[in-house]
Amino acid sequence: MNRIRARILLCLSLLCGSWLATAGAADEPPIRILLITQGCCHDYDFQTQSMQKALADRKVLSEWTVVAEGGKGTEAEIPFYDDADWANGYDVVIHNECFANTDNPEYIRKITAAHKAGANAVVIHCAMHTYRKTKIDDWREFLGVTSRRHEHKSEYPVRVVVDDHPITREIPKDWKTPLDELYVVEKVWPQTTVLATSVSEKDDKLHPVFWTNQYGQARVFGTTYGHSNATFEDPVFLNTLVRGIQWSAGRLK
Ligand SMILES: [Zn+2]
């Protein structure tokens, strides 16, 4: 408990929230989750609570540190990353933030360096458009996809392309998203495995919507869905997200 208390105190000192899920009685220790969230255009408080509840509902023990800094705009450099060891002590880092106009290469590389050294990650929706303005590709290589825009909201059918992957194998064949945005993926990076796609209603192009990536020593799971609160209430999306968190943390084979 000392470590948990220390982390909560650290978290409070950073003006962020922390939450410990105690549901379940698994033999495994809790998954230590660092959530980076905030920025433009989405209801991050709701999404955070929804993710935490989804793990607890599935009896997945988790210990959360939530860094909700940077405000509601499109540009921020949060002091949390000033410590080069910012990712130490966590099994997985969830990026659910939206800062498209932050473009400082030195700042961005403080983040990607920790991931390349082994900080596993889950990247959600607007994380893909975060640092969109920057010229360097480090963040995009970390994500595993390059995307700079999205298409209109719709209920997009999701087609699983790797049937036996532990993250996506429970997705029903006829699943459609709640009203959500389709992100246009212009590049899939070489270490990326596309797990599922959706098709554009404008030009019939297929875009990855769930994937895994290997970035240096880190396992990365990504999804471009997650715009709306309805998506964060959808049991199939939440189940896939929980499995992605477990997989990235090395708890799902
Ligand atoms: Zn969005």
- Is 146's pLDDT higher than 60? yes
Q: How far is CA 79 from each of CA 13, 70, 82, rounded to the nearest angstrom? A: 12, 9, 5
Provide the pLDDT for residue 20: 53
Place of tokens 């910012």: 86
Residue 247 in contact with residue 121, Cβ under 8 Å?
Answer: no
Nearest alpha carbon to residue 34 among 17, 13, 15: 17
149 C-alpha to ligand 1 centroid (Å): 10
25 C-alpha to ligand 1 centroid (Å): 36
Q: Is residue 2 very low, low, confident or very high in pLDDT (cuts 50, 70, 90)?
A: very low
Q: Which residues contact 162 (CB under 8 A, 6 or more apart)?
A: 168, 193, 194, 195, 196
229 C-alpha to ligand 1 centroid (Å): 10
The mean pLDDT value for 181-210 works out to 98
227 C-alpha to ligand 1 centroid (Å): 4
For residue 246, give the amino acid letter. Q
- Six-digit token pair at 186? 């212009």
Tell me the pairing of strands 92-98 and 31-39.
parallel
147 C-alpha to ligand 1 centroid (Å): 13
- Is 131's pLDDT higher than 60? yes
pLDDT tens across 95-118, in order?
999 999 999 999 999 999 999 999
pLDDT tens across 47-69, in order?
999 999 999 999 999 999 999 99
Nearest alpha carbon to residue 181 among 126, 101, 221: 126
191 C-alpha to ligand 1 centroid (Å): 25
